[in-house]
Structure 1
Amino acid sequence: MEICRWRKRPPLLLFLVLILSLPLFLSVSRLYQNPQIQVELERSRPKKSDHLVLGPAAGLGLPNRLQCQGLKAINKLHSLKSNQDVQIGDRVSFVIVYTVYNNSYGSNLARMDDKLADIVTVGSNFYNKVERSMAILNAFIDFIQVSMPNSNVILLTDPSSKFTLRRSQATTLAIPGDYSRGNLMLQRIKSYIAFLETQIQEHPKSSRSSSHYIFTDSDIAVVDDLGHIFHKYPDFHVALTFRNNKNQPLNSGFIAVRGTPDGLHKAKIFLEEVVDAYSSKFMQASRMLGDQLALAWVVKSHLPSSLKKFNRHEAFSGELNGVSVLFLPCAVYNWTPPEGAGQFHGMPLDVQVVHFKGSRKRLMLEAWNMYNSTSNLPNMLCLILKSGRTKYDF
């Protein structure tokens, strides 16, 4: 009987809880119905810059660094273009892995508020997530066409990824695999290997193929002709970019491969070893850094002497398990505008590639817009240099 009386009490307790909680519910409701309070809440939230913020140009007075007066470059860039470097029949193709997530924008009215909040503006253009990704891709292609008009872009993509790219210089190649966000960096290397296999099959006997290849991220701006790499350094199979970073000395956003049968085969062997190291040792960092950690592990395993050279700014070569690897300084071939505070020595005059990692992607679109309106590359680089420390919301 006591148990039965205890079971009858919860409805009364629940009623009391609701009565006591009603003032709280009403106050929260009034809070979100008050536009002024909503505005204050929005203002109180930390927000990254949604427009360019220009600061002083780093590297002022340093030799061999870009010097800017406002947005005007006051010294000349050291271009590595040379008619003597260009050989008829040589081409350089850029290869990227590209896929689109959540391509069903507008299909769910319940998520409309999220979509509106996700819209960003760059200049006079408005972008949602899919559109900004496509805008970055188009800017990537545009920069290549300015600096290397004879080059083309090959997009390795998930067969189920749906997007439209109307560019005569770009083609897509569907390669099956796991392109989920958590596996994308590993899949990227696997897609590179699958692509190399197709090229090996197409050029089994010829002494050279019709093109060399540079595997890159899509958030880079090529600002000079990179074809000279394959002539200035004629013996490498694979080229990587290095920086003075103890844990991540190699950046996977730029990998050059010589387009000969031997070069393609050796590059495949090298990347397969990177995949093995990635899968066995670095899957805990699979979403972001696994590929770079695996690259560094493979290089350090075969070339421990390279560690002393990563703090220099000079290209050097080494052999890894029969693969000739060229190491190029990031400062020239993979330069990144520093983000936030920190040591910053300016932009080298011989910079070839600018890499807009992370939240710098807005700056990439702003830079292209400026070049597109002025056709002045040095001044555009001043814009990048003076904006590099700002964290942009993109």
Structure 2
Amino acid sequence: MNNLRWLLFPFALLYGLVVTVRNWLYNAGVFKSRSFDLPVISVGNLDVGGAGKTPMTEYLIRQFKDDYHLSTLSRGYGRRTKGFLLADVKPSATLVGDEPAQIKHKFPDITVAVCEDRVAGIERLQADHQLIIMDDAYQHRAVKPGLSLLLFDYSKLQGISLMLPAGNRREPFIGRKRADVIIITKCPANLSDAEQQRMISKASPFPHQQVFFSTIIYLPFTNLQGQPASVQIDNDTTVFLLTGIAGTGPLTRHLQAFTSHINHHKYPDHHPFTLKNIAKLADDFNACTEQKKLIITTEKDAQRLGEQGLLQQVSKLPFYVLPIGIDFLGDGRQQFNKLAENYVREHRTHHRIY
């Protein structure tokens, strides 16, 4: 533990105590958790950022969007607005947050809503929707979801995780008990059975919980508008990587398989890019004398790059977006899909859309 963590450790103990008392009050019924008649799936984690919640939410959208009138609901982290808001056909990260904007950009036919108060959000949505998927809502105890998915990052599950602010954990490890399903994300695609068993031991599931393993899959490149783009990368290519996300390790390792020449402009999660940030990137890019060079960013970052104040500078640079998805290891896809479908089918209260 470094010196800063030692200094923050007493505050982490206090934070952990407050969260523990809060959870006890919910569990005891002193604070009320609201259930709803329609299916509500929650996607969340115990740590701050980086577990792959949005890709998991998008996986669920793909599974259900053709058969159910669904909506996603999140807080809209980083937005400059308050209250309940629906993402429009040209979503703005400033208005709804980068992750909701990304979802609406990719799935324009579904409803994407943001609201700090998830109970109020569901109340606004339930009359016209058959399924609600809540992104990053594990700690939002005011709603009791029908199916709760808890995600653990494979690499972070193997180490010691301290409570905020000394570490990244939002609540004590015992909080995992509320989940119906545990998903260990960002696993190597060739994870062995022995390693899976070791990770199950690390996750310490309760008897009622099923455990799945997922891995990141990298999809074809697009431009900033989401249109397909042809990109060729080899070891003669210099990549300028711009990120404002948590957990960039898998992305950098993926790119290192193609080229060792990576210039990473790395910012904190949800970082609001400024003209100064883009100017620095442009200066570095223009100073590079290599013939083969390009700029790569993530889908989430692309939403913030599309803000009006940045467009003039961003449009001058050769940006490419590398989308990601997830897949389950082994026969996990079939098992998980069946589990989720059974839950939604058994708990629907509205007529199904054909």
Q: TM-score, with normalisation over the residues of structure 2?
A: 0.30
Q: Highest Rg: 1 or 2?
A: 1
Q: TM-score, with normalisation over the residues of structure 1?
A: 0.28
